[in-house]
Amino acid sequence: MEDVIASKIEELGVAEEVLIVDMPDERLALNVLFPYMVMGGRGVVITESILRGFFAGIRERLGEDGAQAFLYLIGLDMGGEVYETIKPLLLERSLESSIKLLGCIMRSLGICRLKSVKVEEGWIEVEILDNIEAAVIGKGYSSPQCHNIRGVFAGFLNKLTNRRWRVEEVECEATGGDRCRLVMKPHG
């Protein structure tokens, strides 16, 4: 049965090879580190516990201010890379539609769910649910903590509009909220 499924997937032309891996123990959550293709590049799936350790380690080693800057800069690069990858899909789209497409990509990657996008003259507001950044660091913070996701939106908008954007998180799941809300404005 598994061979039939694998051959059908291969026939679709989206994978050169499909491997069925028997788990040595069903209690293990193994990622055998085969590369996955994500937006034209290789990606590796990691667990939330590894991501939690990554965020905690950055905060421990760099302090809160250093972690904020580091995570934001990583996000800037990520947002810019997403834009470059999907640029042909954005040619005829509005600003709102482009942000919604970014939201679809983030949801498909398990990063967050884009609840709403509001585009007004001079600013944009997005509401995000199930933000993995807030989920893995936990609640209990007194200020918004989703610096990486802020950077992703800024990097994407910078490339999309050829302008620099300031992205501020005004509500955050890590502070006990039920969503993260970002307000974005162009510089100058």
Supply the pLDDT for residue 25: 53
Supply the pLDDT for residue 179: 96
Residue for token digits 């893995």? 136
> Tokens in use for 54?
């990554």
* Alpha carbons 98 and 91: distance in angstroms, whole number: 9
* Alpha carbons 187 and 65: distance in angstroms, whole number: 22
Going by DSSP bridges, is the β-strand pair 180-186/113-120 parallel, antiparallel, or unpaired? unpaired
Report helix angle 147-161 to 48-90, nearest 10: 10
The kind and range of the H/E element at 97 are helix 95-108
Query: Domain limits of the chain?
Result: 73-186
From the list 150, 90, 143, 86, the residue with the least C-alpha distance to 124 is 150
Q: Give, in degrees to the nearest 5, the angle at Cα 48 between 80 and 14.
A: 60
Query: Looking at residue 22, what DSSP letter applies?
Result: -
pLDDT in tens for each of the 188 residues of the chain? 777 877 777 777 766 666 665 554 554 455 444 556 666 676 666 788 888 999 999 999 999 999 999 999 999 999 999 999 999 989 989 999 999 999 999 998 889 999 999 999 999 999 999 999 999 998 889 999 999 999 999 999 999 999 999 999 999 999 999 999 999 999 97
Supply the pLDDT for residue 47: 80
User: Does the domain spanning 73-186 belong to CATH 3.30.1380.20?
Assistant: yes
SS3 121: coil
The pTM assigned to this predicted structure is 0.80
Rounded-to-10 torsion of CA 21, 24, 30, 35: -30
